[in-house]
Structure 1
Amino acid sequence: MLKDILRSKGATFKASDDIPLNPNPKVTFDKVTESRYEQRAMPKEAISARAAADRRYLWEEVSHGVDETHHVAPGYSAEILIRWGDPVFADSPPFDPMNQSAAAQRKQFGYNNDYLGYIGLPLGSDNPDHGLLCVNHEYTNEEMMFPGIGRQDNKGFADMTEELVDIELAAHGGTVIELKREGGRWRVVTDGQYNRRITGGDTEMEIAGPAAGHYRMKTSADPAGVVCIGTLNNCAGGITPWGTYLMAEENFHHYFGGILKNGHPEARNYRRCGVPSDWCAWPKFHKRFDINAEPNEANRFGWVVEVDVFDPNSRPKKRTALGRFKHEGAEPIVNSDGRVVVYMGDDQRFDYLYRFVSEGRYSPDDRPANMDLLDSGTLSVARFYEDGSLEWLPLVHGEGPLTAENGFYSQADVVIEARTAADMLGATPMDRPEDVEPNPWADKVYVMLTNNSARTADAVDSPNPRGPNHFGQIVELSPPEGNHTAERFTWELLVVAGNPKYSESGAMYHEATSENGWFGSPDNCCVDARGRLWVSTDQGPNWMKTGNADGLFGLETEGDLRGYSKMFFRTPIGAELCSPRFTADNGTLFVAVQHPGTDGTEHFPGFERNSTFEDPATRWPDFTEDMPPRPSVVVIQKNDGGEIGT
């Protein structure tokens, strides 16, 4: 088992989402009716000309396919901006994949770039030519990073040394780096004053909010329960209106080992989170990742972390008021009354959609007053109804079942065990809620539901209409009169992913969508400066079900073209496309290409085996024999210098 994990870490890592941990994965309202699903079908009016279907997304579509490199629509450039191992500082050592060290990695760009956030410089500007790029580094693929680890005779973790584990810890976390566009070309400014590496192994984090100092957060290294070392498995994230960077900790359970017994003080909590997983060698060398040596350490992960990017010496803060679960993202919006609302998905099959509403109000001209807004407010979980409404259920200690009789003695217990609290409130189990993006131009919220192969046909409901669900769907939420703090919203399906050519798939798009425009497993999304929705996909090792590598799609959300999808960018074999991010003028699009050459390479015609450091399915983006494939950020621009997609 461990040998297989190390030989194909990416595929096995993704497969963990196939194991539901919700003890109550059934619907929480009357079973869905056929008429409910049918009334949300796409318009059937014929589109007489392709041009009519291109009104808001003007480019020649990229074709479906799979090969060793990336592809972007004709008329655009897609250049590598920064890769794993590239310098972050002026004194960063050059990257040598055969002679890596933790010390070097702490000064180099980390592995598996996921979330991308852009903040214009100076602070408060929308400068499209000079800014800070904030990048999450989600996880590591040992078999692709290190020589010898992926070889066929490897025996479990036997070849993983303490030094290699420390390199992994240094490759996690995040990077903040200055960028400039000069003469139409973007470059990394390695001597930027705000450049920073945040790592899993040595960056001190402050624990803030209701769980700070609670006994369940205390460890032998931190008896006060207020300082944590590192942040791990940062997937999507967000940028606040006051110019800070939110890092969302997702699959933190992978890093913890040991045997969970019934007498363990966190047994209920850890089972609900999948702790331990014994997927890493880390507990062998760092006892804080052994759940018996440090029974509370895993409680210190699974949070949203806020980073003040304009103070590179500041301690990032784990904002515990936003709850502890497998966070996919944390994209905020300022409500009309000034309160800050953060939408979050819990990325596991049959888990939930959450919302946080701050108690305090945003002050546009007083940044210091905003810096702790995320420490106090109301965390809620969503319950969907058959009539197209949604109710936000507050997770507040002392209300409903969230009392001492059920193991909740304070709000700290509620946020630490947010999943269990949501179970007791009767939230709606969803098909892997990943990125959740508010659209301030349209007063909508888009929820990416990636897939759920574990959902059975007798357990479907309105927002999760298929079982098993291999391709995912997108749900659109509508806050009443644009009030993101309202107790009730309405909702409807925007698209149901998969191939619409086959009626049995249940796929649902606008009929003008071409054979290259449909997709599987929506994951991340963004809304550009014109209010258009862009969707990136993460099919994992199951890309062969669509026959297409992951990519980026423009998706129409309004008018008679609602549900029309069009492909713009495609990744190399085995990669996932993460976190599209535009500059304010729509002139530049940054995308993150993660784990190239890993997922599903055994199905890649002509290769048909698992990738390793020595024998990868692609050597993207360098394509030289001395370099393994490297996760990279790609910068996309229109060749004529105009707006993307116009």
Structure 2
Amino acid sequence: MLENDPDDIASNPDPREPVGLLIERRLSRRAALLGLAGAATLTDQLVASAQAQVPVQGGPSSLAFGEVRHQLSQHDAVPEGYETQVVIRWGDPILAEAPAFNPNAQTPAAQAGQFGYNNDYIDFKPLPQGSNTADHGLLCANLEYTNTNLMFAGIGSGSGARIRANAEQSHIERMAHGHAVVEIRKTNGVWGYVRESRYNRRITGDTPMRISGPAAGHALMKTNADPTGTRVLGTLSNCAGGNTPWGTVLVAEENFNGYFGGASAGTGPQGEMHRRYGIVAAAQYPWGRFEDRFNLDKEPNEPNRFGWVVEYDPYDPESVPVKRTALGRVKHEGATHAVSHDGRVVIYCGDDQAMDYVYKFVTARPFNLNDRAANRDMLDEGTLFVAKLQDDGKLEWLPVVHGQGPLTAANGFANQAEVLINTRRAGDLLGATPMDRPEDVETNPVNGRVYVVLTNNTTRAEGNAANPRPRNAHGHIIELIPPRVGNAVDHTATEGRWEIFLMAGKPGQDAGARYHRATSDQGWLSCPDNCAFDSKGRIWIATDGAPTAAGIADGLYAADTAGPGRALTKLFYQAPTGAEVCGPCMAPDDRTMFLAIQHPGEDTGSTFEAPSTRWPDFAEGMPPRPAVIAIVKKDGGIIGS
């Protein structure tokens, strides 16, 4: 996410009852019913699923690694017996025409052929295609945003550093956004990337893309450069993402609002919608001074072409990425698929802003396992839903469909295209539950539950005896529990249940913090952001914001999701100063954990000339470089065993 992100502040004008109130009421009531001595021990008493992990000898957790210690350091840290390997860094050349990285002589053309900046979501696609190979594949990585003050000399520091970029620097930054596909291979136990592989690809802020689905061609999608409303240049602010069962990758556009500015942001006919999405006159980036499409006074519809989920084929470097408008326009974080009992595919995602919502999209038909081409436009037809969490633990999925409920012409929606372009307002009118910054939403392959990672919400002011944490500085994680049809999970159902997995913060210090009672002084966490699961169904939680909220570095934590070690989080990796941990991705054999280490050195006063860390190179004159790392056991064993 962007540092000093205004999207931490709610833009929902009518947040209704926040999820924090529901959580505290349910936990308090459950604690009373169970006769617990204190609600702080509640989560380890919750009913476990049938897939309980077997604890290791000497403790309830099935995770055998020795925890690292909380720290704030220029270096990162892993448990004894593990090592980190840098797979690829910002500026590493991946296309044939790309030069070697020179931080003092960057050009737009060079950056367009090099690995981009602030890697986030990671996917691993085995090679050959369709195989179970765990040591050779394609690394697919989102490239979310740029730190101007750490990329270029002479910019300085402070909140205004980004807008001091000149035209060429802004162009370089746009080329550093987007996505990358890189062939990687493990040789003699060491991961590295294949330079100039035929699969390698850079998708940038200028890459031509197609717009599909109900909003394609609508008047609000048309611009001077694209009078058809079906073609757009680039994808921006790509945070957590996902994939499909037919092998494509889903790139989720999150904080797109920061790139567009102009007086008409507040005064034009779309002013109300722009405000709901956080678009203001003074953009965070200066691109509107150099490119008309980022200037709302010249192209008022251009922002409407961002905030979508983008699908592309990583195995075909010539494929045209497609913005799938049927999935709605929000600040998407995550686009995780689940195959339901009847073969239909469900995509879960969060809208990453305080007091916004959780969504799922259900395809209209089952996917075809034997005909990949038949699934090409699966994500253009289906139903979008938004979540409503009831006080009694019931979960409702409300259809975001024109003509149903308040989504009518009388309320300003002439058709489904307008519902999708203004999805946030549709969620408001439907009465969805405002959440504490819903970020990643992931499905557990073992127990079938869906985990919603809520980073924090310091803007929430409501509080009472049942809600001891009115300002949720540390975040929490919720489990959504779909019903079952026989032994299969029905992800298409419009009703289900929800439970709390954990509430972050330091036990005994931060009101409302709840984990397993055996969580150590190193195992508590703050600001959960992304998560992933290994083949045993254990959760791996990456954090973003812990230095500010809790005075510790961001890191990666792991816990059992069932059994006696449920919610007993253990600290596995600690990031270097200023860095966020993103995109946890376990290799298919559970022997490599890939992590995206984003914005190292993003500390107050840190600059290109004098950064707070020079991770990962630690070379004089080399700025900090966001990078994808691989964590492996030195003996080649299973991660966490």
Q: Distance in 2 between matches of 1:326 and 1:459?
A: 30
In the alignment, which of 7, 15, 20 is matched to residue 25 of structure 1?
Answer: 15
2:628 corresponds to 1:633: yes
Q: Is 1:437 aligned with 2:442?
A: yes
Partner of 1:524: 530
- Partner residue, 1:607: none
**Residue among 272, 275, 278 paired with 1:274:** 278
- Within 2, Cα distance between the matches of 1:499 and 1:262? 41
Matches within 5 A, 1:171-320: 171-201=176-206, 203-260=207-264, 264-276=268-280, 277-320=282-325
| Residue aligned with 1:53, SS | coil
* Residue 466 (str. 1) matches residue 469 (str. 2): yes
SS in 1 for 2:59: helix
Equivalent position amino acid for 1:537 in 2: T
Aligned to 2:35: none
**Could you tell me whether the CA contact under 8 Å between 1:555 and 1:565 is conserved in 2?**
yes
Establish whether residue 543 from structure 1 lines up as the match of residue 547 from structure 2: yes
Alignment deviations for residues 187-211 of structure 1 (CA, whole Å, 9 cap, x no partner) = 201232111000002x101001111
Structure 2 matches for 1:447-596, cutoff 5 A? 447-458=452-463, 466-481=469-484, 482-502=489-509, 505-539=511-545, 543-596=547-600
Asked whether the equivalents of residues 265 and 295 of structure 1 are also in contact (C-alpha less than 8 Å), the reply is no
Gaps of 5+ in 2: 32-41, 47-54
Partner of 1:106: 112
- The change in CA–CA distance for 1:213 and 1:392 in structure 2 (over 3 A counts) is same
Residues 493, 102 of structure 1: CA spacing in aligned structure 2 closer, same or farther, 3 A cutoff? same
Moved more, 164-173 or 528-537: 528-537
Query: What is the alpha-carbon distance in structure 2 between the residues aligned to residue 261 and residue 182 of structure 1?
Result: 52
Do the aligned partners of residues 433 and 159 (structure 1) sit closer, same or farther apart at CA in structure 2, a change above 3 Å counting? Answer: closer
The reply on whether 1:161 has 2:166 as its aligned counterpart is yes
Structure 2 CA distance for aligned equivalents of residues 323 and 29 of structure 1: 22
8 Å Cα contact 1:513-1:564 kept in structure 2: yes
Alignment match, 1:616: 611
Q: Work out the CA distance in 2 between the residues paired with 1:33 and 1:227.
A: 43
1:639 partner amino acid: K
Between the aligned partners of 2:23 and 2:636, the Cα distance in structure 1 is 50
Mapped partners of 1:30, 1:247: distance in 2 = 29
Counterpart Cα distance in 1 of 2:24 and 2:321: 48
Match of 2:92 in 1: 86
Contact 1:113 1:593 in 2 (8 A): yes
Q: Distance in 1 between matches of 2:260 and 2:25?
A: 46
For residue 140 of structure 2, what is the amino acid of its counterpart?
C
Are 1:128 and 2:129 counterparts?
Answer: no
Change (3 A) 1:33 1:470: closer
Q: Which amino acid aligns with 1:644?
A: I
What's 1:420 paired with? 425
Q: Is the 8 A contact 1:552 1:567 kept in 2?
A: yes
Using structure 2 for the length normalisation, give the TM-score: 0.93
Structure 1 residue 97: deviation in Å? Answer: 0.5
Give the Å deviation of 1:94: 0.5
Q: Distance in 1 between matches of 2:95 and 2:387?
A: 43
Instruction: Kindly state the Cα deviation for residue 19 of structure 1 after the two structures are TM-superposed.
Output: 1.8
CA deviations on 1:231-272 (whole Å, 9 max, x unpaired) are: 000000012111111100000000001113665232221110
Are the equivalent residues in 2 in contact too, given 1:31–1:460 (CA < 8 A)? no
In the alignment, the residues of structure 1 paired with residue 123 and residue 302 of structure 2 have an alpha-carbon distance, to the nearest angstrom, of 29
Look up the SS of the partner of 2:417 in the other structure: helix
CA offset at residue 37 of structure 1?
A: 1.7
User: Unaligned 5+ residue runs, structure 1?
Assistant: 1-8, 603-609
| Other-structure match for 2:356 | 351
Distance 2:24 2:136 in 1: 51
Is 1:11 the counterpart of 2:18? The answer is no
Name the residue aligned to 1:606.
Answer: none
Q: 1:448 to 1:35 in 2, by over 3 A?
A: closer
Of 53, 72, 80, 2:59 maps to 53
Aligned to 2:368: 363
Contact persistence 1:283–1:289 (CA under 8 A): yes
Give the CA deviation at 1:17. 2.5
Taking the aligned partners of 2:432 and 2:8, their CA distance within structure 1 comes to 20
Q: Percent identity?
A: 50
Q: Secondary structure at the match of 1:311?
A: coil
Q: What is the one-letter code of the residue matched to 1:42?
A: T
User: Residues 618-639 of structure 1, C-alpha deviation per residue, up to 9 Å, x if partnerless?
Assistant: 0001111120000000111111
Cα deviation digits, residues 344-398 of structure 1 (max 9, x gap): 0000000000010000211111100111111111000000001101100000001
User: Residues 553-582 of structure 1, C-alpha deviation per residue, up to 9 Å, x if partnerless?
Assistant: 002210222111000001000000001101
Q: Taking structure 1 as reference, are residues 425 and 379 closer, same or farther at Cα in structure 2, changes over 3 Å only?
A: same
Are the structure 2 counterparts of residues 274 and 236 from structure 1 closer, same or farther at C-alpha, using a change threshold of 3 Å?
Answer: same
Q: Are 1:26 and 1:459, in contact at CA under 8 Å, matched by a contact in 2?
A: no
The 1-side partners of 2:522 and 2:639 are apart by 19
Shift of residue 151 of structure 1? 5.7
Distance 1:327 1:261, change over 3 A: closer
TM-score normalised over the length of structure 1: 0.92
Distance change >3 Å, CA 195–CA 505, structure 1 → 2:
same
What amino acid is the match of 2:481? S
Partner amino acid, structure 1, of 2:501: L
Quick one: which amino acid aligns to residue 128 of structure 1?
A
Q: Which amino acid aligns with 1:170?
A: M
The answer as to whether partners of 1:112 and 1:139 remain within 8 angstroms in 2 is yes
SS state of the match for residue 386, structure 2?
Answer: strand
Residue 103 to residue 438, structure 1, CA distance change in 2 (3 Å): same
Which residue of 69, 84, 103 corresponds with 1:97?
Answer: 103
Cα displacement (A) at 1:156: 6.6
Return the letter of the residue paired with 2:594. Answer: F
User: Retained in 2: the 8 A contact 1:458–1:467?
Assistant: yes
What amino acid is aligned across from residue 169 of structure 1 in structure 2? R
Check 1:345–1:31 CA distance in 2 against 1; reply closer, same or farther (3 A cut): closer
Count the aligned residue pairs.
617
CA RMSD after TM alignment? 2.1
8 Å contact from structure 1 (residues 173, 233) kept in 2: yes
